[in-house]
Amino acid sequence: MESWRVSTALIMIVMFVMFVIEGLLFGYFLGMLSPAITPLNCAVVTSCIAALVVVYCHMMPVDPVLRHYNATEVTQDTSPRIYGIVEGLAHKAGAPMPKVYVCDVDFPNAFALGKTPDKALVAVTAPLMDMLDDDELEAVMGHELSHVIHRDTFVNGVARICARILTTSAIVMGITSYALTMVLGSGSSSKGGNGGGILFLLMAAIFIPIILLGLVLCLMLPAASAILKFGVSRNREYGADESSARMTGKPMALVSALLRMENGCSKRNRFKRSTDAHLWITNPLGRKKRKLIDSILSTHPTTESRVERLLKLEEEINGTDVSEYRRLLRQ
């Protein structure tokens, strides 16, 4: 669990460094147009933008998500089974009791929302409650409660919005670099004669390589930020799986639940809001063959890799011999 926290912190630090690098590049390119603009000034601005992203994520409302998935809050009286499971887990973890919602959608899944444990909620879909037994449902809710306790929804939100801003600003920087190339070229050629041509060659030798470097970085920053964003999401899923397994003492129940959910989501459903895919415990689009790039840019680890980690936890926590189970899964 400690390595989980450290790795996530490192990813967020890298995100911040990327903002600073982008600010320095912006300052360099824009400084060609005005001496008042410096790389340091722009780096300060982009650092402030990164801080504002954190503030925005802390204030972001959850109501639109709940409305989209037709979520209804339930209580002990209206849905004693799911409410009692969440209440028992919250008591066991020493965490505040989150609000509990049931979503009226056609696929089995669950998610958590909220910036802090005292303002959080967990949600399940109606098909999930019909599909899982109490132990499996407890394991799933343990996973979601772990997201709440460790503020994963907040961290994922910061990573997602940072990636979007880095991508957009990198595109703007690429356009700026191209425009500067055109300005330098037209400015030199307008002087005419051999002197103008020589001046253009000198300026090209100095500035063009630097501008090309900026263009390369413009291409690299969006790709790197996307990889980091998905890395944060996958990292938090592994951590929540482990936390749930240790909280409930039933890693095998989560294994069974994950496999059932993946099969259920692989059947035809109407899920189309890909921007929300990271919210759910398993990919709401279900199982599909993954190429290498799909694995890198996926919001979720593969179910196979999650199951393997959980099997190791079953051996560690309960001393169970899972070799036969592994053999059956490979078949």
Residue-wise pLDDT for 52-111, tens only, equals 877 777 777 778 889 989 999 999 999 999 999 999 999 999 999 999 999 999 899 999
22 has catalytic annotation: no
CA distances from 119 to 27, 61, 122, 252 (A): 40, 11, 11, 30
- Residue 235: pLDDT band by 50, 70, 90 thresholds? confident
Cβ neighbours, 10 Å, residue 134: 12
- Residue 35: pLDDT band by 50, 70, 90 thresholds? confident
Cα 215 from Cα 73, distance rounded (Å): 49
Catalytic-role residue among 22, 136, 138, 144: 144
pLDDT at residue 184 is higher than 60 = no
C-beta pairs of 179-187 under 8 Å, 24+ apart in sequence:
180/29, 180/32, 180/33, 180/207, 180/211, 181/207, 181/208, 181/211
Percentage of residues in the chain having pLDDT higher than 90: 31
Mean pLDDT for all residues in the chain: 78
Residue-wise pLDDT for 197-221, tens only, equals 555 455 555 555 655 666 666 666 6
Residue-wise pLDDT for 310-331, tens only, equals 999 999 999 988 888 888 777 6
